[in-house]
Amino acid sequence: MTPDRTGRPAAGRSPAPISAAGKGGTLITVAPTGAESDKASVPALPVSLDELVTTAKECRAAGAAVIHVHIRDDRARPTLDLGRLIGTVQALREGTDLIVQLSTGGAVTDGFAARLAVLDAGPDACSLTCGTVNFGDEVFANPWPFIRELYARTQALGVVPEFELFDMGHVATLHRLLDDLGAPHGGHVHCDLVMGVPGGMPGTAAQLIQAVAALPPDATWSATGIGRSSVPVIFAALAAGGHLRVGMEDTISFARRRPVTGNAELVQRAATLAALAQRPAMAPDQARAMLGVSDRHEHG
């Protein structure tokens, strides 16, 4: 788009999606646990159901609208056990009005069948990664037939997917998926740029702008900066009209040599910066309307 001399878009041109994307408020997703950090080394990591629900309530109070969930077993190891997932969805719904987004990424060691079966736990939403990526010394495998099958299952079961994009090739695969199978359940495309994974796209403002420019025109998007890129990615995303994902899945340091003491302080920081950017944190009902997530339960 060509600006006129005042800096405003020239008349008759459509506005850039980059400025329209975050109109009306900032969606904050908290990713409290992940599958990579070890409870013994990161004691503040929520791993039990009680810890997870407590964290969820604190993060809701701090400004989160969505929770991206990985669960652990009794020994704090990552698991995709279906019974535990069902119990987790239920407990989060009883304790909060957050949108419950289950991870279908799991851990790098999880098989495709178990990752597909996550949807049987009946979440509001799920993550759906649009391609394979080197993941530190490991590989996070997402071949096309798996992506396609997972997406078709979200449509059949009425689960709203969030498209996780770790690299520019994943954006191309997102377009291929939408061309092939059509719109997601709920009718709205929402993406999360996962930046700064060793092996994926870097967590820089320039990379974020390039990725956003390649998204489908009506998509909304959030961004996640892993590790040290967390804060720069928050600033870049807010400046570009995007939404935010933060949490201990993505960063365990609040600042240099200062470990995160709990997920809520990460959400609080994101909410403060969003308010300064004149786009305060959205409540879950606003987020449901934006994402096309139906109101499935009464929060008691």
Range in contact with Zn ion (rule: CB under 5 A) among 52-60, 97-105, 262-270, 289-297:
97-105
Question: What is the C-alpha to C-alpha distance for residues 259 and 64, in angstroms, rounded to an integer?
Answer: 21
Question: What is the C-alpha to C-alpha distance for residues 219 and 133, in angstroms, rounded to an integer?
Answer: 22
Give the Å distances, CA to CA, from 273 to 30, 95, 133, 232. Answer: 15, 27, 30, 12
Closest to Zn ion by CB, 97 or 164:
164
For residue 103, state whether it binds Zn ion (rule: CB under 5 A): yes
Closest to ligand KMH by CB, 25 or 142:
142
For residue 142, state whether it binds Zn ion (rule: CB under 5 A): no
> Quick count: other Cβ atoms within 10 Å of Cβ 1?
11
Question: What is the C-alpha to C-alpha distance for residues 183 and 198, in angstroms, rounded to an integer?
Answer: 31
Question: What is the C-alpha to C-alpha distance for residues 276 and 183, in angstroms, rounded to an integer?
Answer: 34
Please say whether the beta carbons of 246 and 274 come within 8 A. Answer: no
Closest to ligand KMH by CB, 21 or 80:
80
Closest to ligand KMH by CB, 25 or 161:
161
For residue 132, state whether it binds Zn ion (rule: CB under 5 A): no
Residue 163 touches which of Zn ion, ligand KMH, none (CB < 5 to 8 A by kind)? none
Q: How far is the CB of 97 from ligand KMH (least distance, A)?
A: 22
Listed residue (70, 79, 77) closest to 40, CA to CA:
77
Please say whether the beta carbons of 55 and 260 come within 8 A. Answer: no
For residue 173, state whether it binds Zn ion (rule: CB under 5 A): no
- Is the four-CA dihedral 197, 201, 206, 208 of positive or negative sign? negative
Listed residue (164, 181, 180) closest to 215, CA to CA:
164
Note the residues at the interface with ligand KMH (CB under 6 A). 34-35, 103-105, 107-108, 127, 129, 135, 140, 164
Site string for Zn ion, 45-84 (x = CB under 5 A): ----------------------------------------
Q: How far is the CB of 197 from ligand KMH (least distance, A)?
A: 9
3-class SS of residue 141: coil
Closest to Zn ion by CB, 182 or 227:
227
Q: How far is the CB of 85 from Zn ion (least distance, A)?
A: 14
Closest to ligand KMH by CB, 17 or 34:
34
Binding residues for Zn ion, rule: CB under 5 A, are 103
